[in-house]
């Protein structure tokens, strides 16, 4: 889980540096809902860990999409591509 956490923290930093706070708050809300669904689906410490994994994987997927998603995502790479045109 630590490598996924590292990717999420780096992605957060990049998008915070580009002042993309609106997207970060929406992505965190979606990831929280997904993790809450897993958390409420069972009991025990295994379920807590499963919810944390779902939270971080969902956040990593959202941040990766925003960062590498091109023009549709509107992330930092989209700005670089727009400047190159």
Task: Give the mean model confidence (pLDDT) for residues 10-18.
Answer: 88
Quote the CA–CA distance of 31 and 58 in Å, as a whole number.
Answer: 5
**Residue 71, SS3?**
helix
pLDDT digits (tens, 9 = 90+) for 23-51: 899 999 999 999 999 999 988 999 999 99
b/e map 8-47, b = 16+ CB within 10 Å: beebbeebeeeebeebbeebeeebbebbeebbeeeeeeee
pLDDT band at 61 (very low <50, low <70, confident <90, very high): very high
Quote the CA–CA distance of 67 and 59 in Å, as a whole number.
Answer: 12
């Amino acid at each position: 889980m630590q490598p996924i956490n590292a990717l999420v923290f780096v992605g957060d930093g990049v998008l915070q540096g580009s002042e993309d706070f609106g997207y970060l708050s929406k992505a965190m809300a979606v990831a929280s809902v997904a993790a809450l669904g897993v958390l409420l689906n069972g009991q025990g410490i295994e379920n807590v860990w499963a919810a944390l994994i779902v939270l971080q994987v969902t956040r990593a997927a959202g941040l990766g999409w925003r960062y590498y998603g091109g023009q549709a995502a509107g992330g930092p790479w989209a700005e670089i591509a727009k400047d190159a045109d």
